[in-house]
Amino acid sequence: MAIFKININRIFDFIQKEAFDAIQTDVNLAYNNLIQKTGEGRDFLGWLQLASETMSSPLVDKIEAVAKKIQSQSKLVVVVGIGGSYLGARAVIEALSSNFHTLDSNGFPEIIYAGQNISEDYLFELLQLLDKKDYSIIVVSKSGTTTEPALAFRLLKDHIEKKYGLANAKERIVAITDKQRGALKKLADAQGYETFQIPDDVGGRYSVLTPVGLLPIAIAGFDIRKLLQGAVQMEQELYTSANIADNPACMYAAARNMLYRAGKPVEIFVNFQPNLHYFSEWWKQLYGESEGKNHKGIFTASVNFTTDLHSLGQYIQDGLRVLFETMLLIDTPKHKLNVPFEETDADGLNFLANKRISDVNKMAALGTTIAHADGGVPVLKIEMPELNEYNLGQLIYFFEFACGISGYLMEVNPFDQPGVEAYKNNMFALLGKPGYEEKQKEILRKTI
Ligand code: PA5
């Protein structure tokens, strides 16, 4: 059974129940295309049974062994990657870590990130930090040719080789890349780095349960076997039926597509705790990059509540009525904290005395749900008992599976990302990359 509950009741203020039930025919088609691998992008469905295959392979042992070695030699680990090559790891690590983990030595290396931007200051300050710390590098790029991580890795490789010497440096670098192709694969082989493969049939944003996510997560001290077990459990559950009422992924995919068809093209992913910020980032990429095609698709956004109730809350309550929300709610926090009683009650909060902070947060979530629904914003809810590896494994697989169904319902290929090339081509042309001369002339004509 799914450890979380999905509640879509509030969409029926906006959509007729009969119309919702009628989408089952489309869902059946999408579901069959996904699990029988007959739909568009069928060559990128390796993630479907990845967790169960990985659990029964020696790969987990190898990941844990490499993680142990890195833990023993480094206080900091830089994960170099962008998009699907870093967001999954970061989502899980941040969700499970202390909010103040950068200040709190839990005995495991601190994971930091590079290659996800081209900021000179970010990279300069990173190198300054690395001057003072023992570190290792995990460089992740499926294609091996993505500019941002390649640029960051060029700087980091130079730094680590100067700091530790060539022979020792290569003991501190792990490359995670394609099996055969790409510059990173060639470099890793030539230098003798430890390597892991990203399966050919798994795209970046579906790769968190490959070494791309599993190695950094294991290094950060979390149990990747439990993460995989959660995903396997969800895999088994979602394979049993396409029925919207029984299959939570089909239910979610159907609900968001019906809202889209009813004039709600923006989905806001909502959390009520800050350590889920990167889970939202991962979700945004998964759905945004999978569905935003052919001038179609739900635009994915995210907010951290209650923080953003004091900024975007106004727009959500009262702005253009094109929004719906998906809330991820965690029932039981890791820690317990009650509101203290205060003799003078200067702030007037004694009516909350002895209540748990999480009870206040829960009422904020409920109050927000009612206010937003009343204001014309349908709210879907995913309610999870607690944050741990097993539950996150379930949730990750659930969202991946639902994304495949949802993309097919929208009649797009959810497994490619052709639009990502447009900015790269312009950037290369502007920077004078050989082979881009014609493009450069074309762009310069436009910019004059
Ligand atoms: O989901 C995707 O395919 C993308 O987000 C990629 O992960 C991202 O562009 C990085 O690509 P690569 O791993 O080839 O460097």
Task: Locate 208 and state its tokens.
Answer: 């968190």
- Reported as a single tens digit per residue, the pLDDT across 423-441 is 888 888 888 888 888 888 8
Task: Please name the residue whose Cα sits nearest to atom 2 of ligand 1.
Answer: 204
Burial class of residue 438 (count of CB atoms within 10 Å of its CB; 0-12, 13-18, 19+) = exposed
85 within ligand 1 shell (Cβ under 6 A): yes
**Residue ranges, CATH 3.40.50.10490, the chain:** 5-23+244-409, 50-227
Q: What's the whole-number average pLDDT of the chain? A: 95
**240 Cα–ligand 1 center, Å:** 31
- Reported as a single tens digit per residue, the pLDDT across 43-76 is 999 999 999 999 989 999 999 999 999 999 999 9
Q: What is the CATH number of domain 5-23+244-409?
A: 3.40.50.10490
What is the spatial distance between Cα 149 and Cα 137, in angstroms, rounded to a whole number? 12
41 within ligand 1 shell (Cβ under 6 A): no
State whether CATH 3.40.50.620 applies to domain 50-227. no
Task: Please name the residue whose Cα sits nearest to atom 15 of ligand 1.
Answer: 141
Task: Please name the residue whose Cα sits nearest to atom 8 of ligand 1.
Answer: 83
182 within ligand 1 shell (Cβ under 6 A): no
> How far from the centroid of its chain's Cα atoms is residue 28's Cα?
27
Classified as helix, coil or strand, 57 is coil
Given 110, 281, 289, 400, which residue is catalytic?
A: 289
Asked about 289 being catalytic, the answer comes back as yes
Among 44, 85, 145, 196, say which to mutate for ligand 1: greatest number of ligand atoms within 8 Å of CB.
Answer: 85
248 within ligand 1 shell (Cβ under 6 A): no
- Reported as a single tens digit per residue, the pLDDT across 333-367 is 999 999 999 999 999 999 999 999 999 999 999 99
Task: Locate 412 and state its tokens.
Answer: 């797009």
Asked about 372 being catalytic, the answer comes back as no
- Reported as a single tens digit per residue, the pLDDT across 126-143 is 999 999 999 999 999 988
Other C-beta atoms closer than 10 Å to the C-beta of 36 total 10
